[in-house]
């Protein structure tokens, strides 16, 4: 097995706790599905939010779907003028088969963050 880092991002329409939880849950589930991950293969996960999101911790969503044994951390994204608003990002460290390709996930308006991955979305 190889240690791998998987990236993902999504957006929400408003700074609302349930919106943050739903979008984060969707993102985490999609990263897990696209990479055929098992929770026991996950090492850690870092979530960041843009400065306009503070109604809830994205890690709460990960816990809600069973990532209770995975160390999680939430942090603030750098506030760059003109950057895409209301973005939740994640960086998941996990063990994976070295022969499989990493599948990063960008959902909703966050697809604009990685136009180079459009074919994989």
Q: Where are the domains of the chain?
A: 2-116
Q: What is the pLDDT of residues 19-60, one digit of tens each?
A: 999 999 999 999 999 999 999 999 999 999 999 999 999 999
pLDDT at 118 over 70: no
How far apart CA 89 and CA 74 sit, in angstroms, is 10
How far apart CA 14 and CA 108 sit, in angstroms, is 13
Residues 46, 62: contact at Cβ < 8 Å? Answer: no
Dihedral sign (CA 16, 117, 3, 84): negative
- pLDDT in the model for residue 114: 85
pLDDT at 120 over 80: no
pLDDT at 68 over 80: yes
- pLDDT in the model for residue 119: 52
Mean pLDDT of 90-104: 96
Residues 65, 33: contact at Cβ < 8 Å? Answer: no
Give the 3-state secondary structure of residue 39: helix
Q: When comparing pLDDT for 116 and 120, which is higher?
A: 116
- pLDDT in the model for residue 121: 47
CATH topology of domain 2-116: 60s Ribosomal Protein L30; Chain: A; (3.30.1330)
How far apart CA 80 and CA 77 sit, in angstroms, is 9
Q: What is the pLDDT of residues 70-93, one digit of tens each?
A: 999 999 999 999 999 999 999 999
Mean pLDDT of 108-116: 90
Catalytic site positions: 7, 63, 74, 77, 89, 106, 114
Strand ranges inside the chain, DSSP E: 2-11, 42-49, 72-76, 87-96, 105-106
């Amino acid at each position: 097995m190889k240690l791998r880092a998987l990236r993902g991002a999504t957006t929400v329409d408003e700074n609302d706790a349930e919106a943050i939880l739903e979008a984060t849950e969707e993102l985490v589930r999609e990263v897990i599905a696209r990479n055929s991950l098992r929770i026991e293969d996950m090492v850690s996960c870092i979530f960041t939010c843009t400065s306009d999101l503070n109604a809830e911790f994205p890690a709460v969503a990960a816990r809600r779907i069973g990532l209770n044994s995975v160390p999680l951390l939430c942090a603030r994204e750098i506030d760059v003028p003109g950057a895409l608003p209301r973005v939740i990002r994640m960086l998941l460290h996990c063990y994976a088969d070295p022969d499989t390709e990493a599948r990063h996930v960008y959902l909703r308006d966050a697809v604009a963050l990685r136009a180079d991955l459009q074919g994989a979305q």
